[in-house]
A and B are shown apart, each in its own frame.
Chain A
């Protein structure tokens, strides 16, 4: 476990403090998760969606809400909130990888191949100004892989930030207070706080 602690990044890309990294990571992720809301608009436009698309869009909207609270708290972070964000982000990373595989299969499984014209020198004829199939394929894979690599790094930075929160006495959590609050909350809030508490315990277990 000590090895895990020492290998965590102490800064964002070796330059910026972790909290700025987390602010940037959450901002970028929130922007991307807005895709779920636009996908769900298919209900009104009549565009057909399959089961996997529905799951993907609904999951995006849920994660959007979880990440949104982190952006508001970044300068005064709560361990419970950021534990929930870290656990959600980690699950989201796994789910994103699975969705990426699934939708990659969907795209390449569809007939998207166009006959390529005979090879010509670049700039010689108008057809050569378009990208070749190989170029399009390479760029597509490159962008997809880059986005996944960044996602893993972001996950790592978030974990490091939560670890710092857990280790810092400034952010000690009084669990009794939270337990007392639960009695006066509605069902959804109780579920929300419970998920934060479970996340907190998971984070303590794996990061400390």
Chain B
């Protein structure tokens, strides 16, 4: 087993490379020291403050016994403080924040909830997209289509986030999982907040009740998935959707948001398989409308939310991918996007020809090092956009253009050119 692991994953590992290493310490003191030394910035205050306020809100609102709530929160804090577990749990805090809010959503008192809209979504759908697309796709149904729709909606959706996380962790660059947890968690968190603030009835409601007014005492419906229950002689989806935490949470579609986020991250890491990921998203969109769970406008809201959060994460946090490298252990350093340097319009001013950026010098940052002011400005600018992680142990490598740990004698070419594992 060790041989297999070494042959497949460690054979390309650069000498003395530390960027892919995991924290193995169990010392809580180390984490507390990191918190004490942490340099707070406005983005990090917003990031942690926002999550803390949601956690506090769910702690107070959730009707579970106080002792159980205290136990759950204490366990989470402990798991975050132990460096070995913290590297996963702490980075996944946006996901836990979303889950805490989602499972508390069904307990909000009906009297304090916003009114349920039943006509806004079909109206918007018709006005912006010409018709109710869910109606168009669900006009004729059959068992084959039912199964084809159930596979992404009822099966893949629940397993895909874990599969994607595992593949990104192994085959993506180090720290990409951190970015995925951030983007995935925030997308779902914002999605659930919108669902609670703007409760809206899904297409199955219009089929069952027309455009009559809705109330919070109503049970949810499995929509087209009821046919799957009948087909497989089970009661899984009927039970699950009747007792859903957010029955009138049609807008935005988190099925669409999750699929889009997964496709965006996979496309970012494995661009040669992009058509496959696009197909998956289109397949899931079709199935949600066919099963009468969402209007097209819900799908768009979920996907646009994902796309915006992904773009933010990409430009502020994600490590650059080298498609010629095989897995996380093949990386010798981590580089990130530089929004200004990547700008195709550059800083060129048509009236000042001396301002044309010299790309070769720009890459090695010789100019920056000769001018302390420029260097400081550049780094500060990046830091101002990134909510740094308190326990970040790879920050020393961030945006580094330092040479690889492979010595020049051993490898005269950079890893991208020196490898033949992947050709993009």
Q: Tell me the smallest distance from the CB of B139 to a CB of chain A, in Å.
A: 4
Are B127 and A39 in contact, with the CB atoms below 8 A? Answer: no
Q: Tell me the smallest distance from the CB of A54 to a CB of chain B, in Å.
A: 9
Are B127 and A17 in contact, with the CB atoms below 8 A? Answer: no
Are A140 and B136 in contact, with the CB atoms below 8 A? Answer: no
**In the complex, chain B residues 331-348 whose Cβ is within 8 Å of any chain A Cβ:** 339-340, 342-346, 348
**In the complex, chain A residues 93-125 whose Cβ is within 8 Å of any chain B Cβ:** 99-100, 103-104, 106-107, 112, 114, 116-117, 122-124
Partner of B300 from A31, A103, A127 at Cβ < 8 Å: A31
Q: Which residue of A lies closest to B111 (CB)?
A: A123
Are B343 and A19 in contact, with the CB atoms below 8 A? Answer: yes
Are A45 and B140 in contact, with the CB atoms below 8 A? Answer: yes
User: In the complex the two chains form, what is the Cα distance from A143 to B117 in whole Å?
Assistant: 13
- Tell me if B39 counts as interface (CB < 8 A to partner A): no
User: In the complex the two chains form, what is the Cα distance from A122 to B115 in whole Å?
Assistant: 9
- Tell me if B54 counts as interface (CB < 8 A to partner A): no
- Tell me if A92 counts as interface (CB < 8 A to partner B): no
- Tell me if B226 counts as interface (CB < 8 A to partner A): no
A143: B residues at CB distance < 8 A: 120, 124
Are B348 and A38 in contact, with the CB atoms below 8 A? Answer: no
- Tell me if A9 counts as interface (CB < 8 A to partner B): no
- Tell me if A49 counts as interface (CB < 8 A to partner B): yes
A135: B residues at CB distance < 8 A: 115, 117
Partner of B119 from A32, A117, A140, A170 at Cβ < 8 Å: A140
User: In the complex the two chains form, what is the Cα distance from A103 to B125 in whole Å?
Assistant: 10
A75: B residues at CB distance < 8 A: 342, 344
- Tell me if A144 counts as interface (CB < 8 A to partner B): yes
User: In the complex the two chains form, what is the Cα distance from A77 to B109 in whole Å?
Assistant: 53
- Tell me if B88 counts as interface (CB < 8 A to partner A): no
Q: Mark A7-31, 1 if CB is under 8 A from B, else 0.
A: 0000000001111100110011001
B300: A residues at CB distance < 8 A: 31-32, 35
Are A45 and B215 in contact, with the CB atoms below 8 A? Answer: no
The stretch of B14-22, B206-214, B319-327, B397-405 in contact with A is B206-214
The stretch of A161-169, A173-181, A187-195 in contact with B is A161-169
Q: Tell me the smallest distance from the CB of A35 to a CB of chain B, in Å.
A: 4
A100: B residues at CB distance < 8 A: 127-128
B110: A residues at CB distance < 8 A: 123, 129
Q: Mark B240-268, 1 if CB is under 8 A from A, else 0.
A: 00000000000000000000000000000
Are B136 and A117 in contact, with the CB atoms below 8 A? Answer: no
Q: Tell me the smallest distance from the CB of A135 to a CB of chain B, in Å.
A: 6
B198: A residues at CB distance < 8 A: 139
- Tell me if B133 counts as interface (CB < 8 A to partner A): yes
Are A28 and B214 in contact, with the CB atoms below 8 A? Answer: no
- Tell me if A42 counts as interface (CB < 8 A to partner B): yes
- Tell me if A63 counts as interface (CB < 8 A to partner B): no
Are B344 and A77 in contact, with the CB atoms below 8 A? Answer: yes
Q: Which residue of A lies closest to B115 (CB)?
A: A131
B118: A residues at CB distance < 8 A: 130-131, 136
User: In the complex the two chains form, what is the Cα distance from A34 to B289 in whole Å?
Assistant: 13
Asked, given contacts A24-B311, A45-B140, whether A56 binds B130 with beta carbons under 8 Å apart, the answer is: yes
B344: A residues at CB distance < 8 A: 19, 74-77
Q: Tell me the smallest distance from the CB of A169 to a CB of chain B, in Å.
A: 7
User: In the complex the two chains form, what is the Cα distance from A130 to B130 in whole Å?
Assistant: 26
**In the complex, chain B residues 183-213 whose Cβ is within 8 Å of any chain A Cβ:** 198, 210-213
- Tell me if B303 counts as interface (CB < 8 A to partner A): yes
A136: B residues at CB distance < 8 A: 117-120, 123
A sample of 12 cross-chain residue pairs with beta-carbon separation below 8 angstroms, ordered by A number, consists of A18-B345, A35-B130, A39-B129, A75-B344, A100-B127, A112-B119, A123-B111, A129-B216, A131-B117, A136-B117, A167-B350, A168-B345
- By Cβ-Cβ distance, the 9 closest A-B pairs, closest first, are A123-B111, A130-B213, A126-B215, A131-B115, A129-B215, A45-B139, A47-B139, A47-B136, A35-B129
Given pairs A24-B308, A129-B213, 17 additional interface contacts (CB within 8 A): A16-B339, A20-B311, A28-B307, A35-B133, A38-B296, A39-B131, A49-B136, A53-B130, A107-B123, A114-B212, A129-B110, A130-B115, A131-B115, A131-B116, A140-B123, A161-B345, A164-B345
